[in-house]
Amino acid sequence: MSDPAYLSLEKLRLSYGDTVAVEGLDLAIGKGELVALLGPSGCGKTTTMRAIAGLLSPIGGTIRLDGADITRVAANKRQIGLVFQSYALFPHLTVFDNVAFGLKLKGITGNALREKVEAGLKSVGLANYAARKPPELSGGQQQRVALARSMVMEPKVLLLDEPLSNLDARLRLDMRTELQRVQAETGVTMIFVTHDQAEALALADRIVVMRDGRIEQIGTPEDIYNRPVSRFVADFVGFENVYAVRDGALHAEKGRVPFTGTLPPVAGLAFRPRHVELGAGPLSGIVRGVSFAGGTREYVLEAAFGMVKAEADAALPAWSLGEAIAFDLPLAHAAPLERD
């Protein structure tokens, strides 16, 4: 993007009392970029967002925004918006007054205020709900009010903490499109937190995978999906069979994979279930689980070296439980891992 480091976090260190939650976080985000923070529960996503917003002071490191060091700038002066996972709408105010809250503090009044609020509500499809109070809205509507409330402030960066997690599957898709549209229309720099890899892959320009308060990998959705750097990321994006490479051999949980051929010089190899070839090959296993998943059938095979997850077209005849199958792990489809 135009400015490679519109928002940058340098060696950021965050703690709650004595417990360090985030350690040595380095991240540069371009203007107008849509970045997803992806990781399991407790890895420090919310903590990082709160630090960027200014609600939590770092114990080390620097945060820069638009060329200025904002590490010590108060939260109400940063021009960073945050949509809370819980929405955090003001229950005593109408939808209109919720959205108007920040604008009024900026000194905007009268017609200018009304126009901005109405435009904000219209853009999230809630123009007819201005007079309601938050408890009278559905979860999805509350979420959109929260989004409008932050967007009308025209923040430099908009942070969204699990914006879609409380919605049902349908609304979630609607809101995804909504976020993409808002982002395309306004060009606002956005960071959103999720622990759903599909959501991150679908929405983000770039994905930051976090683990235990550190960054595990940063990359485009293609990078993350096809070229995970570690077992952790591979697991996260659906490579269910991950093996360590040591002494020129593949190692699974229970032992060596009797693999013939030369292995590349990497720390590990990861295979997606759909890349496991069933029916022929040098390896063999017993079917311990079969489940129908629409277009495909998912198998759990027990091989001498451990469990293998495989997938086959549902149109093919099914193997049944207890049956022995020959299979292959084709190197051509394996993702090489830099770290185990």
Partner 1 sequence: MSTRFPLTLVLWLVIVFLIGPFLIIVAASFSAGETLAFPPQGFSLRWIFKVFTVESFRESFVTSMILAVGGTLVALVLGIPAAYAMSRYRLPFSETVRTVVSAPVIVPGIIVGLALLRYFVVPVGIPITLALFLAHTALVLPYAVRVVSASLANLRSDIEEAAVLLGSSRLGAFFRVVLPNIRGGILSAFILGFVTSFNQVPVSLFLSGPGIRTLPIDMLGYMEIVFDPSIAALSALLAFLSMGIVLMAERFLGFSRYV
Ligand X SMILES: Nc1ncnc2c1ncn2[C@@H]1O[C@H](COP(=O)(O)OP(=O)(O)OP(=O)(O)O)[C@@H](O)[C@H]1O
What are the residues binding ligand X (CB under 6 A)? 16, 19, 21, 39, 41-47, 195
3-state secondary structure of 316: coil
How many Å apart are CA 128 and CA 303, to the nearest integer?
60
Q: Tokens in use for 269?
A: 């190899």
* Residue 311, beta-bridge partner list: 298
260 binding partner (options partner 1, ligand X, Mg ion, none; Cβ < 5 to 8 Å by kind): none
Q: Which is nearer to partner 1, 71 or 150 (CB)?
A: 150
In the complex, least distance from residue 101 CB atom to partner 1, rounded to whole angstroms: 5
CB-CB contact of 12 with 58 (8 Å): yes
Q: Spell out, one character per residue from 249 to 288, where the chain touches Mg ion: x when CB under 5 A holds, - when not.
A: ----------------------------------------
| Measured distance CA(4)–CA(10) in Å, rounded | 14
DSSP string computed for 166-220: TS-HHHHHHHHHHHHHHHHHH--EEEEEES-HHHHHHH-SEEEEEETTEEEEEE-
Residues interacting with partner 1, by CB under 8 A? 53-55, 75-76, 80-82, 84, 86, 88-92, 101-102, 105-106, 149-150, 153
76 binds, among Mg ion, partner 1, ligand X, none (CB under 5 to 8 A by kind): partner 1
Q: Give phi and psi for 101, each to the nearest 5.
A: -50, -55
Residue of this chain nearest to Mg ion (CB atom): 46
Q: Compute the least distance from the CB of residue 169 to ligand X, in Å.
A: 19
Comparison of 46 and 150: residue with beta carbon closer to Mg ion:
46
Closest CB to ligand X among 45 and 275? 45
From the list Mg ion, ligand X, partner 1, none, partner contacted by residue 300 (C-beta under 5 to 8 A by kind) = none
When CB distances are held under 5 to 8 angstroms depending on the partner's kind, the choice from partner 1, Mg ion, ligand X, none that residue 188 binds is none
For partner 1, give the closer residue by CB, 83 or 287. Answer: 83
Please give the Cα distance from 301 to 285 (Å, whole number): 5
Total Cβ atoms within 10 A of residue 277: 16
46 binds Mg ion (CB under 5 A): yes
Q: How many CB atoms lie within 10 A of CB 320?
A: 8
Q: Which of ligand X, partner 1, Mg ion, none has residue 195 at its interface (CB below 5 to 8 Å by kind)?
A: ligand X
Shortest distance, CB of residue 132 to partner 1, whole angstroms?
A: 17
Q: Does 141 bind Mg ion (CB under 5 A)?
A: no
Q: Which lies closer to ligand X via its Cβ, residue 120 or residue 213?
A: 213
Which listed option, Mg ion, partner 1, ligand X, none, makes contact with residue 91 (CB within 5 to 8 Å by class)?
Answer: partner 1
Task: Say how far apart CA 235 and CA 116 lie, in whole Å.
Answer: 45
Q: Which is nearer to partner 1, 52 or 287 (CB)?
A: 52
Percent of the chain that is helix, strand, coil (3-state, to 5): 30, 35, 35
Nearer to ligand X, 45 or 144 (CB): 45
Beta pairing partners, 72:
none
Residue 139 or 279: the one with the smaller Cβ distance to Mg ion is: 139
| Whether 33 contacts 22, CB under 8 Å | no
Residue 41 binds which of ligand X, Mg ion, partner 1, none (CB < 5-8 A, kind-dependent): ligand X
Q: How far is CA 147 from CA 99, 262, 304, in A?
A: 9, 53, 53
Residues that bind Mg ion (CB under 5 A): 46
